[in-house]
Structure 1
Amino acid sequence: MTGVPEPAVPDGDGRRPPSVRPRTVPGRRRAEIAEAAARFFAEHGYHTVGMREIAEAVGMRGASLYNHFSSKEEILYAIALAMTEVPVEQHIPLLDAEGSPADRLAALLRAHIRHLADHRVEHLVGLRELAALTPEHRAVITDHRRYYQRRVRDVVAAGVRAGQFAVDSPGRAAVAVLDMVNGISWWLRPDTDVDELVETYLGLALDGVLQHAREDRA
């Protein structure tokens, strides 16, 4: 490592796959309903509740709920979409910023973990109930996840070429890192020190999985 930032050139082609559709930003009330429904799904299970129960959980009449969402599946899709498209839109640009591959990946992981900590319930529901989505909706979510994983793989590969990471398969390493940080949602508690969590998992990812070669090592 020279300490001189690399040019801000994307490690991949920087484009989303054609199958990923642009996100339609929901109204604030839709977002509030989706957030409350996620808590209800997490507590009672997606398949055990209907639209009437969801409406009661969010404090509105059943008929009013249909003004915002046409079905329970559409609510689930909105939850899963927010947990996949928002990271693509907000975190992936960090991989195209200035700095070494290790610096850029660290910035993405910090943002990723903080977003997950802020939306743990929604993230967990999106993971657990993916099979309940329609094939079309499930394909959109899967495309977002694959694109995100591919961009992480590309920056890991750049780090290998730069001598910063020591892994044989950047693709498998990317999967390992993302699986590790996404697993936080299964056990995270409200009283968890998120700052400490971020730095702990950053070390596990960079120094552990990726065998990051730091300047201060012999």
Structure 2
Amino acid sequence: MSPERRPATGETGAAVPMSRDARTRRRREEIVAAAARTFAEQGYASVGMREIADAVGVRGASLYHHFPSKEDILHAVCLTVTREPNEENLPLLDAAGTPAQRLVALVGGHLRHLHRRRTEHLVGLHEMAALTPAHRAEIDGYRRHYQRRVRDVIAAGIRSGEFTVPDARLATFAVLDMLNGLSNWFRPDRDLDLDTVVSGYVDLVVVRMLGASRCPSPSPE
């Protein structure tokens, strides 16, 4: 059993039962991950709730208990690559350090999250049109917020003289497009490992694209 799936243990070493809320969260995560793989393999339009239930190994009634529709599952998939990065990555932009240092940390966090959520990201790119207008608006809102926060840091770097690009908005689109492109080509079984890719992307983004005189180390904790 992998460490993240191992039951929690108390001081005596006995397994501590998961709370009902924790079990529900885990089951929802399992459904979203299995659905993303199924959508990626077969296409959203070709997949029904029965196929998703089979992929998770649950009965249809159990699946409907967690998600009332297939579209709600797709919405949850899209949240893993929009709301989740807002929650996990944007705090890196609030840390101490110069704009360049904070952007270095953001590039690393963004790429590592994207690698972990590669399937979900590709599904979101190809199947976004199937979302309801309300869900699409929510997803777009998270994306715009993320873009705005990155733009603000690049703009701060331009004001401080660290970055030499003339347009923070245009630079933001270029940086995020480059980072998101990782999901199209990177595979862990190829010659490059993720740490090497992160290091290379940091240099490409901060020094070569944004014009910093050198690539700073992230600010210490």
Bin the TM-score by the shorter chain: 0.7 to 0.9
1:1-34 per-position Cα deviation (integer Å, ceiling 9, x unaligned)? xxxxxxxxxxxxxxxxxxxxxxxx9711001110
Question: Which of 70, 84, 87 is residue 86 of structure 1 equivalent to?
Answer: 84
Q: 1:79 to 1:159 in 2, by over 3 A?
A: same
Instruction: For 2:91, give the aligned amino acid.
Output: P
Q: Which residue does the alignment assign to 1:22?
A: none
The residue aligned with 2:168 is 170
Residue in 1 aligned with 2:52? Answer: 54
**Alignment length (residue pairs):** 192
C-alpha distance in 2 between matches for 1:34 and 1:148: 22
Instruction: Normalising by structure 2, report the TM-score.
Output: 0.83
The answer (yes or no) to whether the contact 2:203–2:215 under 8 Å persists in 1 is no
> Runs of 5+ in structure 2 lacking a partner?
1-21, 217-221
The residue correspondences of 1:8-157 to structure 2 (distance < 5 A) are: 27-157=25-155
Q: Is the 8 A contact 2:82 2:142 kept in 1?
A: yes
Q: What's 1:200 paired with?
A: 200
Q: Assess if the C-alpha contact under 8 Å between 2:165 and 2:211 holds in 1.
A: yes
Superposed structure 1 runs of 4+ greater than 4 Å apart = none
Sequence identity (%): 58
| d(CA) in 2 for partners of 1:190, 1:122 | 17
Structure 1: gaps spanning 5 or more residues:
1-24
Q: RMSD in angstroms over aligned alpha carbons?
A: 1.6
Contact 1:120 1:188 survives alignment (8 Å): no
- Report the CA distance between 1:214 and its aligned residue: 2.1
* Distance in 1, Cα, partners of 2:134 & 2:55: 28
CA distance in structure 2 between the aligned counterparts of 1:83 and 1:206, rounded to whole angstroms: 23
Name the amino acid aligned to 1:63. A
1:123 and 1:185 in contact (8 A); partners too: yes
**CA distance in structure 2 between the partners assigned to 1:190 and 1:46 by the alignment:** 26
The normalised TM-score by structure 1 is 0.84
